[in-house]
Amino acid sequence: MTKTLVIAEKPSVAQDIVRALTPVAGKFDKHEDHFENDRYVVTSAVGHLVEIQAPEQFDVKRGKWSFAHLPVIPPFFDLKPVDKTKTRLNAVVKQAKRKDVTELINACDAGREGELIFRLIEQYAGGAKPLGKPVKRLWLQSMTPQAIRDGFGALRTEQQMAGLASAARSRSEADWLVGINGTRAMTAFNSRDGGFFLTTVGRVQTPTLSLVVEREEKIRKFVSRDYWEIHATFGAQAGEYPAKWFDPKWKKGEDAEAKADRVWSAAEAQAIANAVRGKQATVTEESKPTTQASPLLFDLTSLQREANGKFGFSAKTTLALAQSLYERHKALTYPRTDSRALPEDYLPVAKQTFEMLADSGMRHLAPHALTALNNNYVRPSKRIFDNSKVSDHFAIIPTLQAPSGLSEAEQKLYDLVVRRFMAVFFPSAEYTVTTRISTVAPHSFKTEGKVLVKPGWLAIYGKEAADEVEGGKDGDKGQNLVPVKPGEMVNTLQVDPKGLKTKPPARYSEATLLGAMESAGKQIDDDELREAMQEKGLGTPATRAAIIEGLLTEKYMLREGREIIPTAKAFQLMTLLRGLEVEELCRADLTGEWEYKLSQMEKGQLSREAFMAEIAAMTERMVKKAKEYDRDTIPGDYATLESPCPNCGGVVKENYRRFACVGKPGAEPCGFSFGKSPAGRTFETAEANALLRDKKIGPLEGFRSKAGWPFTSEIVIKYDDEAHNYKLEFDFGDDKKGEESGEIVEFEDAALGACPICGSEVHEHGSNYVCSKAVPTTAQPTPSCTFKSGKIILQQPVEREQMTKLLETGKTDLLDKFVSMRTRRNFKAHLAWDKEAGKVNFEFAPSKFPPRPGAAAKTVAAKASKAGAAAKKAPAKKAAAKTTAAKAPRKAAAGKAPSAALAAVIGNEPVARPEAVKKMWEYIKTHNLQDPKDKRTIVADDKLRAVFGKDSAGMFELAGILGNHLGGE
């Protein structure tokens, strides 16, 4: 009997598919890496399992990064497994190659990346020749069981997906070509004078960075100008009202800062105030009704912008929350969408969604849903239901499933989507807008009043929305105006010029940067216009968060509060790209054009070959420009440092590569200079100033060795007797220098705690925390202790309070910014005092996942089998020795005494937590305590009830529960 293999993008989606298919396709059996019944085999990837690489004969390893080997434009791409998911890849490929599997269904996420994940797995499974099995596409917008079953009833053909597959491969290959060649070319250029200065660029990340740098340049160059406004208070019979002077003849010109209500001199402002003070004014006014429709439904980018503005969530956080609400809670539709409309046949679903909300028990939302249903608000509207504005996905809306057990952040995001969904069906808000002109010839003063007549959709937002139209001041929109009778003259009670200053443009926040990426840098505030520009944006809604995070990780940008600020490294990269005239990598609008071409390819309107030829030509040009650049420096807008040259007191100026002394006025330079990017880390101007002023700075993070390893160090400027000048050096804070020289150390900081070796005080010293008896002091010139621990360990700063905690309790909190020297990946660990080793070591949190029942037995059996085979080949004595060695347990971790309740289950012997979990599982299996309907739930007997404190517990809770019963862990 033949079967169909379904490949999902993540294990949780595979489980959802199995649950949805079981009622219609029969019960599934669960295997180690897949589910199976008579018709289907269901398995999953875990994101990307395969990535593209240049074939061996075309690739250039990093040690040979030079212009001689560039550009790298391979005629085809090989595939390689992603290291950390090789096991999962092998499991999926094994199912794909089964003889009884005759058809594949791509059930990866509905979008470009999901298409790529599947296509690369399929290609890898086929090897040298195609797998040759027909493929169909499951396209899911919602994760509810019925939506999944509907999706299986409307599978798409491979031909229908050909355009999307071409765009997915082209995006991947274009990013590889531009990223690899651009990064290697710019790194080669920056490393020409020695060292290794990694300079990463990317097809989308670099134009995004250029937006942030250009904005910062405008801020830095901005010269504030003084201007004046004239504010008045007029008195009518019914009361007072504010107003602001304006010039009714003013027209917009070239000066972007000029406005009708601004004057540019104090004298002119004072003259206007003097001319009208104490005089009577005539009044004309016009009142007209206006309406305000609700904003459109959310796509991912508008949701990320709103969540950043309202809650301060990063784009990455919002995407993760939306993905969880879609995938785990089934409460939202597919979030990685660029559409803000719904399909035209979705009206019945929208009504059902309102019915669910009205009946959900969510008190803050249900009344509004009920209002909409009672007043028949849910009806056809081209603004909401429009097939022409629905691409692969529709807008983000709530599903028919009411969620429960949401975290606080998930609830906030869910409420945001639900309110927007309801608001779009509600009537427009209605206002009366009154414009009042008070004239004291020849001067005019304007007052605008905006009164909310019918709240319409604003009712959903309650006081939050009402505040937007209340409390206006100084003639701005918002206040209720006192009435003025026809023909009434009013008195000018008070008039004052108000001095103000023009402000530079605001720095980008994630919300405004996402908006700029969406419109490829064009400033567009109007929703409808932004929608028209969307296809020419930077990246896609699904990738923008990752692009921003990547720039932050590479230290091209920093977050300060909600502001995003480019670093010196970013300015240096932009200076280089502009100097080399590689404008394709700088201009957001050009990269937006390529994104538009990819969307054309998805629709079958552009060939893959034409797009890739354009990318290859751009790559060749970019490398050629860098390779052939022959001037000494790159032109740019460079800084002059405030601190003088330490050698001659002259002026120190920045150029592309260095900070160099240009001498005192009228004098020659003394030759002092230092590189701007020692070991690949670029100095900020303020850091360079501090280094010259104090002759040292740090410790600083982000340096890289010639082999590419990250390290942390202080930088010092020291006098070199041979060169008769100062030079820059790394200082790794080796405190033994003081010990060797006998230089007495005097501690100025408060002690952090007691030394775990000798009990003396521990203090900060240089780049370490040290015992007061580990360095020469007045009290003890000869050190007698060895305790020392770094203030930065594998790029993880260890704050004073964490060291205090380690000294008091034996370990720090879980720290999450360690970077492995071997894999260069981030990892989390506690720092803990290792008494046996006599030093601070890593302690890793226990695994959340207990060993699979039976796994331990299989491992023991396998080892025994190997030992037996070896014994047959060896002499008897050796065999016996090997068998003994095989049976000899590893040295156990230090054990802790179990509580009385736990001892009743696993015995009284001191035990480490992993061993305790293992023994607990043996007890559970022996007594058959797993829930037969859900094997992940353990049903407590009398002994376990005393341990759990409740009638049942989940398998993933065990380690935490046991920790509470082990010797104070």
Distance of CA 651 to the CA centre of its chain: 41
Give every CB contact of residue 402 below 8 A, 6+ residues apart in sequence.
331, 356, 357, 360, 361, 362
Which of 801-834 are b and which e, b meaning 16 or more Cβ less than 10 Å from the residue's Cβ? Answer: ebbbbbbeeebbeebeebbeeeeeeeeebbbbbe
Three-class DSSP category at 952? strand
State yes or no: is 334 an active-site residue.
yes
Is-contact 672 192, C-beta < 8 A? no
Give every CB contact of residue 706 below 8 A, 6+ residues apart in sequence.
195, 196
DSSP code string of 20-72 = HHHHHH-PPEE-SS-EE-SSEEEEE--S--EEEE--TTT---GGG-SGGG---
Q: Closest Cα partner for 939 from 952, 948, 949, 928?
A: 952
Q: Calculate ∠ Cα 640-642-643, nearest 5°.
A: 120
| Active-site residue identified among 227, 334, 726, 769 | 334
Enter the tokens of residue 215: 């904005």
Which of 877-916 are b and which e, b meaning 16 or more Cβ less than 10 Å from the residue's Cβ? Answer: eebeebbeeeeeeeeeeeebebbeebeebbeeeebbbbbb
Burial class of 730 by CB neighbour count within 10 A (0 to 12, 13 to 18, 19+): middle
CA distance 519 to 529: 9
Is-contact 967 897, C-beta < 8 A? yes
CA distance 488 to 241: 14
Question: What's the one-letter identity of residue 646?
Answer: P
CA distance 466 to 766: 56
Q: In what side-by-side order are the strands of the sheet with 753-754? A: 753-754, 761-765, 768-771, 788-790
What size, in residues, is the chain? 969
DSSP code string of 874-921 = S-HHHHHHHHHHHHSPPPPPPPBPBPHHHHHHH-SS-B-HHHHHHHHH
**Beta bridge partner(s), residue 452:** 431
Angle between the N-to-C axes of helices 112-126 and 86-96, in degrees from 0 to 180, rounded to the nearest 10: 70
Which of 167-201 are b and which e, b meaning 16 or more Cβ less than 10 Å from the residue's Cβ? Answer: bbbbbbbbbbbbbbbbbbbbbbbbbeeeebbbbbb
Cβ count within 10 A of residue 433: 14
Give every CB contact of residue 670 below 8 A, 6+ residues apart in sequence.
645, 647, 648, 650, 661, 663, 725
Is-contact 259 394, C-beta < 8 A? no
Rounded to the nearest 5°, which phi and psi values hold at 292?
-135, 115
Residues with active-site annotation: 334
